[in-house]
Amino acid sequence: MTQSIDGADSPTAEQLAAEEKAAARLLDALNSRVACNPVREFIGSTDLPAAYRVQERLTQGRVAGGAKIVGRKIGLTSKAVQAQMGVDQPDFGVLFDDMDYAPGHIVPMGHLLQPKAEAEVAFVLAKDLADGDLDAEQIRGAIDYGMPAIEICDSRIDGWDIHFGDTVADNASAGVYVLGSARKSLDEFTPVEVGMKMLINGEEVSSGTGADCLGDPLNAVAWLARAARDFGEPLRAGQVILSGALGPMRPISPGDEVAVEITGLGSVTARFSGGAESYEGNDK
């Protein structure tokens, strides 16, 4: 069993020093675009509070550097992947404004290290999810609309050699994302009933359903709302929520085109540059 985010003992000075080393390693990899060794040697594989404290250090650094928080992403929503990682719950990361690429905009491979694509249902919130029971009715009432989405996961850790602590500390292996143009309310589609297929260069490489995401993408949003509040940074109106993969993620190569179709919701396409040119921002 993993620890809960809240209720953990205060870290010792030694633990904080180790977390600082983990954060410095990940930050160096992020800035240099050179993958690093795992950080579990500093924080362990299953110490959830320590891993989120490292993630928070990186978040504070990005915000201090001018990045804007625009939402959250949920990872490890598949029971099979949880079993593989030896955990019993998802994780979450932070979405920043420079991660958002419009359909048709070429995603520069120079922004990424070892990208993998997955298809998701994204939601935009109309209300804060900071107070109350955060039950199913409240979650539904807080969602403005849903969209098809492609998340490009990316690990700063070489070869994706990650345990749970590594990926949490590394902002849940967040990379970039592309949102489709369709916007549908929950009166217009039912997330648990959607079907998904993902194609790379015209070949189907992944498929799944809404039920493959924690039983229902809305369950994932509810989990995130509670976890984010426990962590001290509740979900806010206007934020984008990537609710988790509907099927297996697949690696991306330079020049690839990824197309996702989600029944009842629409489609979205992401295109990637043919080389690893230096990253200079997404100039959206």
- For range 27-53, the mean pLDDT: 95
Confidence at residue 231, expressed as pLDDT on a 0 to 100 scale: 86
Contact, 234 vs 151, CB < 8 A?
A: no
How far apart are alpha carbons 250 and 253 in whole angstroms?
Answer: 10
Cα 28–Cα 150–Cα 65 angle in degrees, nearest 5: 30
Burial class (CB within 10 angstroms; exposed 0-12, middle 13-18, buried 19+) of 7: exposed
Buried b / exposed e over 96-126, threshold 16 CB at 10 Å, is bebbbbeeeeebbbebbbbbbbbbbbbbbbe
Stretch among 81-85, 104-108, 130-134 having the lowest mean pLDDT: 81-85
Question: Chain-wide mean pLDDT for the chain?
Answer: 91
Confidence at residue 88, expressed as pLDDT on a 0 to 100 scale: 78
Q: Widest CA span of the chain, in angstroms?
A: 53
Burial class (CB within 10 angstroms; exposed 0-12, middle 13-18, buried 19+) of 34: exposed
Confidence at residue 280, expressed as pLDDT on a 0 to 100 scale: 43
Please name the residue that has the structure tokens 């806010």. 236
pTM, entire model: 0.92
In the CATH scheme, what is the homologous superfamily, with its name and number, of domain 69-272? Fumarylacetoacetase-like, C-terminal domain (3.90.850.10)
User: pLDDT digit string (tens) for 125-171?
Assistant: 999 999 999 999 999 999 999 999 999 999 999 999 999 999 999 99
DSSP per-residue string spanning the chain: -PPPSSSPPPPPHHHHHHHHHHHHHHHHHHHHT--B--SHHHH-SS-HHHHHHHHHHHHHHHHHTT--EEEEEEE--SHHHHHHHT-SS-EEEEEEGGGEE-TTSEEPGGG-SS-EEEEEEEEEESS-B-SS---HHHHHHHEEEEEEEEEEE--SBGGG---HHHHHHTGGG--EEEE-S--B-TTT--GGG-EEEEEETTEEEEEEEGGGTTTSHHHHHHHHHHHHHHHT--B-TT-EEEEEESS--EE--TT-EEEEEETTTEEEEEEE-SS-PPP-----
pLDDT-derived band at 281, boundaries 50, 70, 90: very low
User: pLDDT digit string (tens) for 170-214?
Assistant: 999 999 999 999 999 999 999 999 999 999 999 999 999 999 999
Contact, 37 vs 156, CB < 8 A?
A: no
Q: Which of 182, 185, 246 is nearest to 212 (CA)?
A: 246
Q: Is the pLDDT of residue 87 over 90?
A: no
pLDDT-derived band at 5, boundaries 50, 70, 90: low
